[in-house]
């Protein structure tokens, strides 16, 4: 099932910025539409002051690219657009070209669930210049947001202990639908949160579309509907005896826990078991400790304590340091809205283009800000590993002469004196893998559970200092020495010409 087609109309070709189409028109007018080029999608800094990010959104990007076409309605709309002179913005010949367009791109990408770092290409697009340009905005839209949310989710789950080496039964549930940025934002966030480590979601449509576990019981309004809390719990237990997690803080929290225990005993007599209670306000650390005592003394040592109330990774960390007895964390607003950083600054830059003879010409974007100077070439990322730990990522240019198995020196693009050396034969692997070749899908799309496993594996191999929340260690990422030399020369040459 193609999830984008399930949710939206078959053609999403107009999900782009106008300037992608105006540039494409310019390429077509100047005979450059079919000139081969290479673009890279990457971000310049980790979100949330994190030491890492989690790649996400590739499956959505694949579904978009597989269905890239302009239908009659799209072309009719484009034909209605006019310029400043009230004349058509696009020639009929260009619209005919778009109508006959056949997706031909080669696409490589870092698999979802992989830890990634600034300046590393998450997606590499190679093919006809016009097609490369058309897909810029939708690829950024699909990859930026899900990478942002998957990263936030991984941080929240790491704080909760989901990724702790120690045995833990803690789990995180995504509760953010009602606060999410619209329908598509909610669905994308639920998927990315699950990739990042959440055990389930309250979003029923996300559960259907993505095959995710869905979780939920009742709200305060249920309790307020009945004359008293005990009757509300009784009636819920009668209606849903196999799904009883009681929200206990509508009135007095600890009295609510005691009433939940009373109803739990009645449930047990009928062959069912109370699953737990939920705390949604107050001093969550102290209340959870007292709640645990009441549940244990009442004969429910296995009942879960679920907590919600504007949680994020830092509050969860604080609650654990206070000895909170919470084992299920309902995280909503601050997860699905990426509350403390609303966007990932992903960009899409040209790295090389072929001339009329088919020879590759490197391209570079300059800036007064070093971080915004792009890297030229056809880029790949080589990850080096030693003793089951990731030791550094080297960005290299496939048009240059560095080969796998050679010794390698990588150089920090912001500080040429910061260098890292890897011996010949060091354990390593390329991160970008083939997704499309000539427009044909060659990648076997993993299941969501497989992507979640990749997150766990990636974080297991990431140095602990990189994963800490405060002042994380900077994971080494640099340019292969030949690429650094080429980039430096291109910068000097370009500045001499201006």
The CATH number of the domain holding residue 316 is: 3.20.20.70
- The answer to whether residue 411 is domain-embedded is no
Q: 104 and 238: one domain?
A: no
Query: Are residues 289 and 158 part of one domain?
Result: yes
DSSP bridge partners of 278 = 247, 306
Phi then psi dihedrals of residue 473, to 5 deg? -65, 140
DSSP letter at 33 equals T
Residues 203, 242 within the same domain: yes
Tell me the β-bridge partners of 390. Answer: 385
In this prediction, residue 1 carries a pLDDT of 61
> What is the structure's pLDDT at 497?
79
From start to end of 12-116, where are the E strands? 36-43, 53-54, 106-109, 115-116
Structural domain count of the chain: 2
Q: What is the pTM of this model?
A: 0.95
Length of the chain as a residue count: 498
Q: How many CB atoms lie within 10 A of CB 14?
A: 15
C-alpha to C-alpha distance for 93 and 96, rounded to whole angstroms: 5
Helix (H/G/I), strand (E/B), else coil: 202: coil
Q: Is residue 216 part of a domain?
A: yes
E-strand ranges in 232-337 read 245-247, 276-279, 304-307, 328-331
Neighbours of 281 (CB within 10 A): 14
Q: What pLDDT shows up at residue 9?
A: 65
Q: What is the CATH number of the domain that holds 10?
A: 3.20.140.10
Residue 463 belongs to what domain range? 3-149+354-383+433-474
Cα-based distances in Å from 127 to 61, 94, 299? 17, 19, 65
State whether 77 and 209 are in the same domain: no
Same domain, yes or no: 312 and 182: yes
* Residue of 155, 156, 148 lying closest to 173 (CA atoms): 156
CA nearest neighbour of 357 among 24, 107, 36, 38: 36
Is residue 41, in this structure, part of any structural domain at all? yes
CB 223 within 8 A of CB 247: yes
- Residue 348 lies inside a defined structural domain of this protein: no
Phi, psi of 149 (to 5 degrees): -70, -40
Does any domain span residue 419?
no
Residue 391: inside a domain: no
- Tens of pLDDT along the chain (498 residues) come to 666 666 676 688 999 999 999 999 999 999 999 999 999 999 999 999 999 999 999 999 999 999 999 999 999 999 999 999 999 999 999 999 999 999 999 999 999 999 999 999 999 999 999 999 999 999 999 999 999 999 999 999 999 999 976 656 799 999 999 999 999 999 999 999 999 999 999 999 999 999 999 999 899 999 999 999 999 999 999 999 999 999 999 999 999 999 999 999 999 999 999 999 999 999 999 999 999 999 999 999 999 999 999 999 999 999 999 999 999 999 999 999 999 999 999 999 999 999 999 999 999 999 888 888 999 999 999 999 999 999 999 999 999 988 888 899 999 988 889 999 999 989 999 999 999 999 999 999 999 999 999 999 999 999 999 999 999 999 999 999 999 999 999 999 988 876
Taking the C-alpha atoms of residue 225 and residue 212, their distance in angstroms, rounded to an integer, is 31
Domain boundary among 280, 310, 336: 336
CA atoms of 149 and 469, how far apart (whole Å) = 16
For residue 322, what are the CA distances in angstroms to 116, 171, 277, 286, 303?
A: 32, 18, 20, 8, 21
Residue 493 inside a domain? The answer is no
Contact 36, 126 (CB under 8 A): yes
74, 167, 180, 266, 343 from 60: Cα distances, Å? 21, 33, 18, 47, 18
User: Residues 119, 237: one domain?
Assistant: no
Say if CB 89 and CB 81 are below 8 A apart.
Answer: yes
* One domain for residues 113 and 162: no
Give the DSSP H or E segment for 421. Answer: strand 415-422
Instruction: Give kind and range of the element (H or E) at residue 223.
Output: helix 220-225
User: What pLDDT shows up at residue 164?
Assistant: 78
Alpha helices in 84-128 (DSSP H): 92-99
How high is the pLDDT of residue 19? 96
Boundary of a domain, candidates 275, 310, 336: 336
Please say whether the beta carbons of 62 and 157 come within 8 A.
no
Q: How far is CA 477 from CA 391, 415, 449, 486, 489, in A?
A: 9, 12, 28, 17, 20
Looking at the structure, tell me whether residues 138 and 199 fall in a common domain: no
**Are 170 and 160 in contact, with CB atoms under 8 Å apart?**
yes
Both 189 and 113 in a single domain? no
- Same domain? For 38 and 116 the reply is yes
> Do 232 and 372 share a domain, yes or no?
no
CB atoms within 10 A of CB 384: 20
Position 490 in a domain: no
How many CB atoms neighbour CB 440 within 10 A?
10
The reply to whether 26 and 73 lie within a common domain is yes
- Within 8 A by CB and 6+ apart from 149, the residues are 56, 188, 189, 192, 193, 196, 335, 336, 338
């Amino acid at each position: 099932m193609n999830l984008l087609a399930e949710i939206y109309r078959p053609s999403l070709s107009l999900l782009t910025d106008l300037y992608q189409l105006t540039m494409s028109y310019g390429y077509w007018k100047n005979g450059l539409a079919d000139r081969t080029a290479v673009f890279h999608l990457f971000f310049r800094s980790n979100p949330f002051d994190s030491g890492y990010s989690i790649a996400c959104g590739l499956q959505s990007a694949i579904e978009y690219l597989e269905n890239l076409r302009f239908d009659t309605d799209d072309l009719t709309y484009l034909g209605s657009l006019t310029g400043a002179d009230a004349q058509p913005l696009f020639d009929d010949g260009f619209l005919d070209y778009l109508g006959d367009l056949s997706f031909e791109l080669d696409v490589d990408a870092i698999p979802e669930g992989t830890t990634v770092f600034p300046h590393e290409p998450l997606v590499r697009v190679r093919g006809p210049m016009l097609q490369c340009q058309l897909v810029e905005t939708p690829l950024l839209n699909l990859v930026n947001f899900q990478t942002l949310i998957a990263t936030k989710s991984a941080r929240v789950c790491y704080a909760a202990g989901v990724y702790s080496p120690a045995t833990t039964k803690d789990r995180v549930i995504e509760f953010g639908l009602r606060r999410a940025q619209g329908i598509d934002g909610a669905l994308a966030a639920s998927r990315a949160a699950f990739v990042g480590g959440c055990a389930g979601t309250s979003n029923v449509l996300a559960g259907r579309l993505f095959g995710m576990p869905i979780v939920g019981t009742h709200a305060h309004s249920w309790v307020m509907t009945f004359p008293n809390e005990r009757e509300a719990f009784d009636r819920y237990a009668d209606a849903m005896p196999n799904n009883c997690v009681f929200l206990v803080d509508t009135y007095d929290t600890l009295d609510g826990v005691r009433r939940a225990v009373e109803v739990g005993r009645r449930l047990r007599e009928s062959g069912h078991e109370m699953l737990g209670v939920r705390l949604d306000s107050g001093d969550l650390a102290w209340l959870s400790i007292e709640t645990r005592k009441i549940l244990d003394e009442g004969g429910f040592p296995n009942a879960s304590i679920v907590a919600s109330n504007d949680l994020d990774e830092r509050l969860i960390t604080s609650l654990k340091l206070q000895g909170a007895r919470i084992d299920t964390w309902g995280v909503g607003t601050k997860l699905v809205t990426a509350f403390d950083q609303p966007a990932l600054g992903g960009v899409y830059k040209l790295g090389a283009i072929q001339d009329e003879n088919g020879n590759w010409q490197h391209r570079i974007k300059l800036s007064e800000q070093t971080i915004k100077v792009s890297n030229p070439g056809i880029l790949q990322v080589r990850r080096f590993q030693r003793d089951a730990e990731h030791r550094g990522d080297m960005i290299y240019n496939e048009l240059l002469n560095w080969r796998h198995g050679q010794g390698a020196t990588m150089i920090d693009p912001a500080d040429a004196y910061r260098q890292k050396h890897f011996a010949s034969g060091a354990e390593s692997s390329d991160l970008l893998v083939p997704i499309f070749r000539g427009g044909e899908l060659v990648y076997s799309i993993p299941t969501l559970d497989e992507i979640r496993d990749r997150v766990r594996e990636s974080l297991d191999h990431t140095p602990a200092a990189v994963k800490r929340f405060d002042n994380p260690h900077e994971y080494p990422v640099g340019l292969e020495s030949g690429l650094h030399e080429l980039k430096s020369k291109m910068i000097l040459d370009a500045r001499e010409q201006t």
